[in-house]
Structure 1
Amino acid sequence: MVLGTASLPVATELCRHDVTSYLEALDGVDDVIVGCTQERALFTELAQQKGSVAPLHFVNLRETGGWGAGGKQALPKMAALLAAAALPDPEPVPVVDYRSEGHVLIVGPADRALSWARRLQDQLEVSVLLTGYAHAEMPVERTFPVFSGGQVTIAGWLGAFTAEWRQDNPIDLEVCTRCNACVTACPEQAIGLDYQIDLAKCSSHRDCVKACGAIGAIDFTRGDTRRSTTSDLVFDLSDTPLLGMHQPPQGYFAPGTDVQKQIDESLKLTQMVGEFSKPKFFLYKEKLCAHGRNGQIGCTACIDVCSAEAVSHDGNRIKVNPNLCVGCGACTTECPSGALTYAYPRATDIGLRMQTMLAAYARAGGAQPMLLIHDQENGATLINRLGRAAQAGVQVDGGLSGVPARILPIAVHHTASTGIDVWLAAVAYGAAHMAILTTGSEAPQYMAALKRQMEVAQIILNGMGYAGSHFSLIEAITPQELDVALATLHPAQVPAKIALFHVAAEKRTTLGLAIDHLKSEASAAPEEIVLPAGAPFGEVQVNKQACTLCMSCVGACPEAALADNPDLPQLRFIETNCVQCGLCETTCPEDAITLQPRLLLTNAAKQPTVLNEAQPFHCISCGKPFGTAQMIANMVAKLSQHGAFSGNADRLKMCSDCRVVDMMANRQESTIADLKRH
């Protein structure tokens, strides 16, 4: 199917004799949408040959829409997919650049590492770090550097790797000339053609050192045992990868002992030479971050969930390394304050796509739409496989049904990149179910994070009286598994009136808009909904007997949820601002604060409430109010025996100005008394 500037007939064999319909659509300057992705390369080439300037978009209507048991009812879905395809491309995002000169460090046992070094040395600049020497024989010609050692650590990314290791053998392979003098000189035969000393056999007579002579490759008294080198790429052939994170950095390949995987990864290595770029997947607003204040740690959600170890901190603030970030978006999904937001695509772009698809679906007569979030690679491939299998009539457990007509697929870069703000907005827009498709490649912490977020979102909806299950996390690897999972999804209750707000760039703004709309259309109206620990909403509870109104919590709060009163000793709280980061709890010197997750649905959530207050204590000298009676009493009890106040405890009951005046007056009296004595 082709949509252009004019009404065109439906083409059923577009890539064959109906191709003229496509060429006619290219004559204008308006967007052209091709409802087929199989022949994308052909259609793109035809447009280039024609010299067309019309923006070209592709959308899969077959596997995701028309093919399957529900194909005859899929017209509203097709309308939704076409409407989404017609949207303008999102605004470009900043990019992260890499440069690789093709220098690869091969790490691993000698038999594996040297074999691959010989194969790759004509295509890449090779260095080798040997970590084991069984059945090894050093190359006769020194065509690439060879190091040896243990306790290897790797850090960095494509174009900027650093390897460090402990030189744990007296023979330095990089200096050794393979002259065999040491092999001949050793009476214990502790040195073989691997040119490493078997220290279990060596009796330390040092004949090998004398034989090596001026070369100086053998040193039993090596002082600095740590060595390092840099490389653009790392080919890790260790039995267990040196980098254990779920998402290793780009440029690092660890096939282990699997020969076929070694071959596959080596081919990728040879393609990693030149200049590369990727999107900068995140945006960070430090002023919203609830991680830390004054050395106290609050929220660590982004650090805990990152599978690439791209997020670090200095105690007060976090730092995301864009070179290590792989774009999963889980940190932005978990961030309660919205300090980290996803940029590829932005939440506003996802929101617009959802609104557009749901509106087009409804206009075309569709009812109870459900959304299926999937990634652009594994998820899209699996959906396409399911559509083709359903169309071909593959008989598995009675045959495959394909993607149901009311399920609208939405592709994202990574399935962990959407969270509770986008999901609740989707329900407010009329989505009767939100499913997220995972295909087994996701990190365990991503799965746990998605489940936590779904639990909180479902509790909120059910608490408002919206019946049914609104969220599902689908785990499928085969078309059969996906087919079964999709067949079990059922629409849940949505608002009678569809929301008109747009997903905002700020996470908390979107959450507020979605919750307000859902609340206004809800059948139940409880004052509050109790939420599980870790939810991004809740109250701060204060033990008034312990609280001294020191206001340490106010200074620590990053979201302006806690505030003082400039006119009175009061601790005030705006619940809708609270993200339950816990900074106030960890900062309080009196341990007077506890957190209680909940969603308060009354207007009181947006109004300042007084958590604690006291009558001001008045200076015993000038009468000016400063502090509270309890705070002064605690201070007098703790400091009255201190040398600075011994015998002058009343100064603790004075304001700062009067305290200075009293100190100066006492000093003057002491000076006069001394003069009289002399």
Structure 2
Amino acid sequence: MQEFIYYNPNGLDFPISEEIFVTSNLEDGAKSDFLISNSPLIKSELTAKEVDFYIKNSKDSLSNKIENVSTLYEIAATKYDLSQDISYNQELNNEVLLIANNEEEYKVFVEKTLDEDFNLFYITTDILKSISGHIGNLSVVVDDEGKDVTLNVSQIVWFDAKEEGLKQSGTFDPSLSSLDEVIKQLKDNIENYEYRKFITYDSSICQYHERREEICSRCEDVCPTVAITKDDKTKTLSFSMVDCLGCGGCISICPSGSLEYTPMSRTSIYEVSKFYSGKIPLIIPNKMNMENLSIDLKENVLPFAIDGEKFLDESMFITIAQESGSQVIFYSDFLSKGTRNAIEILNQIYQKKYSKDAVIVAANEEELSEALKEVALIENSRFTFNHTSSRKREIFAIRLKHIVGDEDLGTVTTGEFVHYGKIQVKEENCTLCLSCVGACNVDALVADARDNTLRINSSLCTSCGYCLVTCPEADCISIESDVIHLNKTWFTEEILAQDELFACVECGKEFATTKAINKIAAIMSPLFASNPVKQRTLYCCEDCKAKLMIKQGLLDA
């Protein structure tokens, strides 16, 4: 069975690979299930609109066009194979709440629907107190003459809705489109409402999860809906997939990479990017409607189609740039906070190394036209390594290390939403208690038992500050925030503190650092001044300490 199909009622005026079934008859598409098609009119698992966009706009030679069309189908198949998103169905009944500002808005809605498609509830804005839940299961609390009454509905129509209302899935505002469109949407949802799981979450490297103090909750801050909520008592995050829009803004801003974008994970980005070796990637999110875009693609430019526009982070951009060996165009009329910072960071790095931007942003067709004139391959910039299963910071560190090499390219600044930094320790104040190591869940801070050292790999540090909060010593840890040092020491473990182990005065077993023992002894010795045995226990291991105290007790008895 053929997996790929190309449909065009006018046919195709040049030959393409035999692996792709070409037809001008729409009925051919109904005869079999295909994996990838170029048209939404054909039943397939995935529609690759970038195929027609490329054929229509590319200035590549005929031979390159033939090859690249096949490549685009292979890219789409790779994306499909590596996609981790799962589709779910939510059952909806016909109970709809209308929130209107006046009687006239109610009448207009009823006239449009004749009240025959919905079991309609109606309230005015002034008695609304709160909305919670999600589409199919919405709870609305209203003030009924001083008493709270809860209405349970599947969907809400709210004229001139407030922001908190629109954050809930299932709330629709006719003023943002039209009443006819909203009514159609309500009916379509009742017939079949499908949503996807757009993110996966690894709590083990989350910078918010179960920490004593709030160090990070950026994903919740940027979420445009109630898909991500936090519990400040337990310091845990909750995810509602039915409320998620799939924009990906939380992905690009997550410092550790604990969130992954299921339609296109970092592994998927890597595998797809390999197809662009020696080509110029033009990243186009779905919302930019490439099928309506008519623009000259100069030779060697290949579209890189993605779902959401906000999920790309610095590890993904540098992967695409290095695997292609080229500058990258990102065609989007909106940049999320994380994506904007990621591009700024990477462009600073590329300017220092190659005197070119890594990513050229184009917000409209005019800017895209100019970007296509400017964009080019970057000599000696291509680099590849298999980073399957690697974390976000590890990917960026290894790729950045290749750029830096043995040079010292100075520093670049980061923030305000994507943070890097360098931990510094006053060694004279550090007792090597290693509380900071336990607090660091991205393995930037480590202890080396071979030489009794505390070490930092700055390239992995998220600059979260939890080590500083956890450290029991005063004036010990500090952070040089929002900076990356572009030299080779940034990527190697640097010794922050070191000490000798202290041997038990009774048995000779090494059991703690010398500075830790001396510090405790300095505090406790005055309290034990009249008891030499207790003073000696301050310099004993746990076993010998107990033996001495038992012996002391027997003598006292």
Q: TM-score range by the shorter chain?
A: 0.7 to 0.9
Match of 1:656 in 2: 542
Deviation at 1:110? 4.2
Give the alignment of 1:536-555 within 5 angstroms: 538-555=421-438
Q: Pick from 307, 329, 347: which aligns with 2:266? A: 347
Q: Deviations over 1:334-377 (max 9, x none)?
A: 22332211110333333333332x34xx5xxxxxx43221222x
Q: Deviations over 1:377-414 (max 9, x none)?
A: x31x2x44341xxxxxxxxxxxxx64444432222111
- Confirm whether residue 230 of structure 1 aligns to residue 152 of structure 2: yes
Q: Deviations over 1:618-664 (max 9, x none)?
A: 4455554443444345445556688xx69667254443334434443
Give the alignment of 1:37-52 within 5 angstroms: 43-48=25-30, 51-52=31-32
SS at match of 1:545: helix
Report the residue type matching 1:385 in the other structure. N
Match of 1:412 in 2: 306
Deviation at 1:542? 0.8
Match of 2:245 in 1: 326
Match of 2:99 in 1: 107
SS at match of 1:273: helix
Q: Pick from 586, 601, 607: which aligns with 2:469? A: 586
Percent identity of the aligned residues? Answer: 19
Question: Matched residues in 1 for 2:138 and 2:373: separation?
Answer: 47
- Confirm whether residue 80 of structure 1 aligns to residue 57 of structure 2: no
Q: Deviations over 1:274-320 (max 9, x none)?
A: 44333311222222333345413334332333222422344554333
| Cα distance, 1:593–1:57 mapped onto 2, change above 3 Å | same
Give the alignment of 1:16-55 within 5 angstroms: 16=10, 30-32=19-21, 43-48=25-30, 51-52=31-32
Report the residue type matching 1:471 in the other structure. V
Question: Matched residues in 1 for 2:370 and 2:182: separation?
Answer: 33
Question: Matched residues in 1 for 2:409 and 2:203: separation?
Answer: 33
SS at match of 2:96: strand
Question: Matched residues in 2 for 1:447 and 1:227: separation?
Answer: 39
Question: Matched residues in 2 for 1:131 and 1:62: separation?
Answer: 48
State the TM-score, normalized to the length of structure 2: 0.81
- Confirm whether residue 429 of structure 1 aligns to residue 323 of structure 2: yes
Give the alignment of 1:615-626 within 5 angstroms: 615-619=500-504, 622-626=507-511
Question: Matched residues in 2 for 1:535 and 1:251: separation?
Answer: 32
Q: Pick from 242, 262, 271: which aligns with 2:188? A: 271
Deviation at 1:485? 4.6
Instruction: Report if aligned partners of 1:105, 1:235 keep a CA contact under 8 Å in 2.
Output: yes
Q: Deviations over 1:432-467 (max 9, x none)?
A: 22122223xx4xxx533222101111222233x212
Deviation at 1:552? 0.9
Report the residue type matching 2:241 in the other structure. P
Give the alignment of 1:351-366 within 5 angstroms: 351-356=270-275, 358-359=276-277
SS at match of 1:558: coil
| Cα distance, 1:485–1:102 mapped onto 2, change above 3 Å | farther
Question: Matched residues in 2 for 1:243 and 1:265: separation?
Answer: 15
Larger gyration radius, structure 1 or structure 2? 1
| Cα distance, 1:570–1:20 mapped onto 2, change above 3 Å | closer
| Cα distance, 1:528–1:454 mapped onto 2, change above 3 Å | same
Give the alignment of 1:293-312 within 5 angstroms: 294-312=211-229
Question: Matched residues in 1 for 2:50 and 2:517: separation?
Answer: 74
| Cα distance, 1:342–1:652 mapped onto 2, change above 3 Å | same
Question: Matched residues in 1 for 2:506 and 2:246: separation?
Answer: 63
Give the alignment of 1:178-257 within 5 angstroms: 225-238=147-160, 240-243=162-165, 248-256=167-175
Match of 1:459 in 2: 348
- Confirm whether residue 163 of structure 1 aligns to residue 135 of structure 2: no
Deviation at 1:558? 0.6
CA RMSD of aligned residues (A): 3.8
Deviation at 1:113? 5.8
Give the alignment of 1:108-127 within 5 angstroms: 108-112=100-104, 114-115=106-107, 118-119=110-111, 120=113, 121-127=115-121
Q: Deviations over 1:538-558 (max 9, x none)?
A: 432112133222211111111
Report the residue type matching 1:32 in the other structure. F
| Cα distance, 1:639–1:312 mapped onto 2, change above 3 Å | farther
Q: Pick from 465, 474, 489: which aligns with 2:362? A: 474
State the TM-score, normalized to the length of structure 1: 0.68
Deviation at 1:265? 1.7
| Cα distance, 1:656–1:438 mapped onto 2, change above 3 Å | same
Report the more deviating stretch, 102-111 or 533-542: 533-542
| Cα distance, 1:470–1:267 mapped onto 2, change above 3 Å | same
Report the more deviating stretch, 56-65 or 281-290: 56-65
| Cα distance, 1:604–1:417 mapped onto 2, change above 3 Å | closer
Instruction: Report if aligned partners of 1:63, 1:386 keep a CA contact under 8 Å in 2.
Output: no
Deviation at 1:593? 1.8
| Cα distance, 1:504–1:462 mapped onto 2, change above 3 Å | farther
| Cα distance, 1:113–1:77 mapped onto 2, change above 3 Å | same
Instruction: Report if aligned partners of 2:202, 2:258 keep a CA contact under 8 Å in 1.
Output: yes
Question: Matched residues in 1 for 2:317 and 2:22: separation?
Answer: 28
Bigger relative contact order, structure 1 or 2 (CA pairs below 8 A, ≥6 apart): 1
Instruction: Report if aligned partners of 2:347, 2:356 keep a CA contact under 8 Å in 1.
Output: no
Instruction: Report if aligned partners of 1:157, 1:323 keep a CA contact under 8 Å in 2.
Output: yes
Report the residue type matching 1:131 in the other structure. T
Question: Matched residues in 2 for 1:482 and 1:299: separation?
Answer: 35
Gaps of 5+ in 1: 6-10, 35-41, 133-148, 171-224, 363-368, 388-400, 673-678
Instruction: Report if aligned partners of 2:348, 2:357 keep a CA contact under 8 Å in 1.
Output: no
Give the alignment of 1:373-392 within 5 angstroms: 373-376=283-286, 378-379=287-288, 381=289, 383-387=290-294
Aligned residues: 529
Question: Matched residues in 2 for 1:560 and 1:61: separation?
Answer: 40
Deviation at 1:52? 4.8
Question: Matched residues in 2 for 1:124 and 1:510: separation?
Answer: 52
Q: Deviations over 1:231-275 (max 9, x none)?
A: 21121225534436xxx343221235x7x6333222211221044
Instruction: Report if aligned partners of 2:207, 2:256 keep a CA contact under 8 Å in 1.
Output: yes
Match of 1:38 in 2: none
Question: Matched residues in 1 for 2:489 and 2:522: separation?
Answer: 42
Report the residue type matching 1:236 in the other structure. W
SS at match of 2:388: coil
Question: Matched residues in 2 for 1:324 and 1:243: separation?
Answer: 12
| Cα distance, 1:561–1:52 mapped onto 2, change above 3 Å | closer
Report the residue type matching 1:474 in the other structure. A
